[in-house]
Structures are given as C-alpha cells and as structure tokens.
Amino acid sequence: MTIQSIDLMVLAPTIVVALGALVALIAELVTRRGQVAVGVGLVTLAFAVPFALAASGEQTLCGAVDADCAYVVAPLSVALQLIVLVSTAIVLLMASSDIAARRVPGGEFVFLILCSVSGAVLVPATNDLVTLIVALEVVSLPTFALVALRRGEPRAAEAALKAFIFSIASVAVSLYGIALLYGTTGAVSFNELAASTQASGPSPLATAGMVMLLAVVAFKIAAIPFHAWAPDTYQGATVPVAAYLSVVSKAAGFSALLLITWTFSAWSQVWAPVVAVLAGVTMLGGNLLALRQRLAVRLLAWSSIAQAGYILVPLAAVAGRLEWGPGVTNAVVGYLVAYAAMNLGAFAVVAVVARRTGAVDWADYRGLARRSPGLAVALALFLASLAGLPPGLIGLLVKVRVLIVPVGSGVWWLAAVMAVATVIGLAYYLAWAAQLFRQPDSEARPSVAEPETGSWTSIVAVAICLALTVTFSIAPSLALGLVDRL
C-alpha cells in the first residue's frame, strides 16, 4: 500500500485564515471586542506565507511537483492570494466602525468574512474542476449571510436572497457543464484536461460544457448578463461588505477564469469569442447604466461591473493572433492589483463620509473639499484612477496595458469598444469628482463634530489605499510585474 505524503505548509494561508475565523468567534464570546484586530492580525500573518512559498518555487499539497495534485502553488496563484489577503485586511479596517456602532455583530461578521476568504485563497491554486467549484462556493456562501447581517436595513435580506438565487442558478449550470466535460474527456484535473484538449478538437458536448462552466465565473465577476444581483446587493449590504464583493469576490472569479482559460487554451477559438462578447457588453453596459446612478454605492456597483469588463479584455483578445501566456496574465493581474487599491479606496471614503454626514446621494458630496479636504483629495484621486486620468496614473497605465493586448492580437473591434466605454465612464467619474470642489450647498448635511468610535480605522484604510495608489502610479511595475517578481 502506498501512502501519499501531504505537505500542509502549502495550505498555510487557508489554515491561518480559517483558524482566525474561529478565534474571532471566541473573542466575541469572551470580550465582545477585538474581533477586527484578530482578523487583521491573522490575515497579515497569512499574507507572509505566500512570500515564503514563492521563494521555494512551485509546490503541491501532495509533496511532489510532478504529482497530479488538486492544489498547486505557483507564482500566479501566490500573486492572486496576495491581492485577496491585502484587500481583506483593508475591508476589515473599514468595517471596524460598523462593528463598534453595533450595526453588525462583530464576531459573526469577522467569522463570515474569514470563512469566505479561506475559499478565496484556495481558488488560485486549485488544480481540478471539482476543487475549483467547491472553493468558489466557500467564497460565496458566507457572503449571502454577510449581506443579510446588516441591522436596520430592510433591503438587506432581499439583496442577500437575490444574490443567493443567482448564485445557485450559475452553479447548477456550471456543474452540468463539468458533467459534460467529464463525460467527453474522462478527466476533471486541469493537467489531464489540458492534455486532452491538445490531443483533439472540441466536440459539441465539450463546447457546451466549457461555455456552461463559464457561468459561475461570470456570476462571480458580475459580468453582464450575470450582473443583475450586484447593484441591489451592494446597496443592501454595508459599505465594507459591498467593497469585499467588488474586489475579493471578483478576484476569486478572475482567478478561476485564468485557470479555466489556461486549461482550455487549445480551444481558444471556442471560448475566446464568448469572453470577448462578455467583455464588450460588460464594459459598455456598466458605464452606460452608471450614468443614471445618483446613489454613491450603487454608482460604484455599476463602476465595478464596467471595470470587470476591462479586466476581461486580455483574455478575450486570445481570439486573435495572441496565445495564452505571460502577456495575458500580467495584464489581468496588474489590472486587478490597481483596481483593488483604487476601488477599495473609493469605498473606504464613501464609508467614512456616510458615517459622518449620512451622505447617500453623490450630490451630498458637494463641497466636501471644504469640510474634509483630505477625504476629498483622496476620493478625487481614486475616481481619477478608475477613470484612467492623471494624476491617477496607475489607472491610465493599466488601461493602456490592457488595451495593448487586443491591438497586438488584431481584435480591433474590442479595442474600439474599450475606448468608447472608457470615454463614457469619464462622464460620471468626473461629475462626481467635480461635486467635491463645488461651493457647498446651504442645505447639505453638516459633518458631525466628533468621529464615531472606531472610525480612525476607516481613515487608516483610506490612507493605505491612497499610499498604494500613489506608489503604483510612481512605480507601475510593482503592479504590472507582480507575477514576474514572485
């Protein structure tokens, strides 16, 4: 009998985060405080582990690099895990005020966040379809409870139910797709599937299975037409939960998409046009519908949908002369890194302003530069970065890096759609930024004299995002070359 060795060290990020979830619950029972500190501390500890794994080269849970293992750690997976863990720490800092004000129960909130994160750090390193779907569901299931956890918000339960229904539908379709793929190829391992696709062309059943598999990913990243849950869910949830869904959950979805497209890269003529259509519709639809929004969180929800379309562009461009490779992964990961910093920053400012003034509509931000100049400058920079305008240079650079891919591969129509969508997006980003520096309205809500208990952690979250955005603008290679540095 052969006993297979197991290297639990490669699972250390997930184990540390999962233990953190349990410790947060115990802290709630014992002291009713310190849950955020526990969460941030253990996420920071987990953050150090991927660096150690990257320094040791490619590793697997099975203890052998050449084993057909269900969990494989490589530079790409480490880069994606770092995005997830850093973003989670920022979200927990944002949530501290809500927990201190008892808008959400602290222990349950941190527990659910960390449970979801334990799945998000699993996704990038999975090596078969079954493990991938399980990891994605570990990401999703706690988020439904997180959305419904908001106290005093009648729409929270409705928003959670809508997200749950869409999730169940997408998973059911994806599982059926996996069944078709297994029936036609006899494999669920990514390595075996890749070898099978290299050996033969796609059959009609395999083509249908592959397209169905993309459904769960499209739901995760809120790509149109799988987006209908996102605006209502973001609005019904607390701002930190909306920020988590817009960045961490989306990063898990793109991690899965990278794995799927790499596995079926030999069949790119089948899936790349589908992804190209998703990218084009998502970019245009997200930006056009954002023009109608006046609620800050809802506008950021449609903005995040449009941004997902931009991140899809490099993968969609494989439909042309480009092959799946470092050019695609660097563009996708680079955009995800920059997007995480600037989008979390925008949500963090919205969270602080909402707690201090009760601002909901973007018109309530009029004159913010006079009341809180630091927050106004920070939000203006984040909006400029999302729009791709100076001084938010990192937003411009990642858009250019993404645009180069379809241009280089000859997918001109997709490059044109991206250019048009970017111009449309300027309208609402600049309109909101302009409100910050206009003469204050005499009827605007006054800011409170004293910050809420725990609001300093939200300011820290804004400062971290601001520092990251400025750093990436000065040294864009830190974002665009993250995978190569690991």
pLDDT tens digits for 319-335?
655 666 778 888 899 99
Nearest Cα to Cα of residue 232 among 285, 158, 139? 158
φ/ψ (deg, to 5) at 59? -135, 160
pLDDT of residue 2: 46
Q: What local confidence, expressed as pLDDT, does residue 463 receive? A: 92
Q: Is the pLDDT of residue 465 over 90?
A: yes
Whole-number pLDDT of residue 448: 41
- Residue 244 has what pLDDT? 92
Q: Does residue 421 fall inside a structural domain?
A: yes
pLDDT for residue 70: 74
Stretch 373-384: mean pLDDT, rounded?
Answer: 91
In this prediction, residue 446 has a pLDDT band, given cuts at 50, 70 and 90, of: very low
Question: Per-residue pLDDT for 149 more than 90?
Answer: no
Q: Identity (one letter) of the amino acid at 146? A: L
Choose between 447 and 331: higher pLDDT.
331
pLDDT at 13: 81
Where does 232-310 show beta strands of DSSP type E? none
pLDDT digit string, tens, across residues 150-206: 766 677 788 888 888 888 888 888 888 888 888 888 888 888 888 887 777 777 888
Q: Please tell me the predicted confidence (pLDDT) of residue 450.
A: 39
- CA pair distance 83, 478, nearest whole angstrom: 12
Question: In angstroms, rounded to a whole number, what is the distance separating the alpha carbons of residues 149 and 5?
Answer: 41
Cα angle value 292/371/357 (rounded, 5°): 60
Residue 268 has pLDDT above 50, yes or no: yes
DSSP 94-144: HHHHHHHTTSS-HHHHHHHHHHHHHHHTTGGGB-BHHHHHHHHHHHHHHHH
447-463 average pLDDT score:
64
Q: Is residue 434 domain-resident?
A: yes
* Mean pLDDT taken over the chain: 82
Name the 3-class secondary structure at 73. Answer: strand
For range 81-109, the mean pLDDT: 83
Q: Number of helices and strands (H, E) in the chain?
A: 21, 2
Instruction: Please tell me what DSSP assigns to residue 71.
Output: B
Phi, psi of 462 (to 5 degrees): -60, -45
Is residue 431 over pLDDT 60?
yes
Position 380 pLDDT exceeds 60: yes
- Is there a domain that residue 54 lies in? no
Q: Note whether residue 221 is domain-resident.
A: no
d(CA 339, CA 121): 18
Q: What's the confidence (pLDDT) of residue 1?
A: 40
28-43 pLDDT tens trace: 777 666 566 666 777 7
Top-ranked range on mean pLDDT: pick from 59-73, 101-115, 121-135, 184-198: 121-135
| 384 in any annotated domain | yes
Question: Which tokens sit at 308?
Answer: 């997902």
38 vs 240, residue with greater confidence: 240
Give φ, ψ of 189 to 5 degrees.
-70, 140
pLDDT exceeding 90 applies to what percent of the chain?
21
In a domain, 134, yes or no: no
Q: What is the mean pLDDT of residues 374-402?
A: 90
pLDDT at position 63, please?
63
Is residue 212 scored above 70 in pLDDT? yes
pLDDT tens sequence across 318-376? 765 566 677 888 889 999 999 999 999 999 999 888 887 777 777 888 888 888 888 88
pLDDT given at position 449 = 35
Number of Cβ within 10 Å of residue 369's Cβ equals 19
Confidence of residue 287 (pLDDT cuts 50, 70, 90): very high
455 falls in which pLDDT band (50, 70, 90)? low
Tell me what the mean pLDDT of segment 281-293 comes to. Answer: 91
Residue-range definition of the domain harbouring residue 420 = 268-486
Instruction: Indicate whether 447 pLDDT > 50.
Output: no
Q: Which two tokens stand for residue 295?
A: 């609620």
Q: Is 422 a residue whose pLDDT tops 70?
A: yes
> Among candidates 317, 281, 296, 276, which has minimal Cα distance to 402?
317
The answer on pLDDT for 444 being more than 60 is no
pLDDT at 7 over 70: no
Give me the mean pLDDT over the 123-130 stretch: 88
Name the least confident of 48-62, 369-383, 425-439. 48-62
User: How much is the average pLDDT of 107-113?
Assistant: 84
Domain total in the chain? 1
Tokens of 82: 């770092």
pLDDT score, position 337: 93
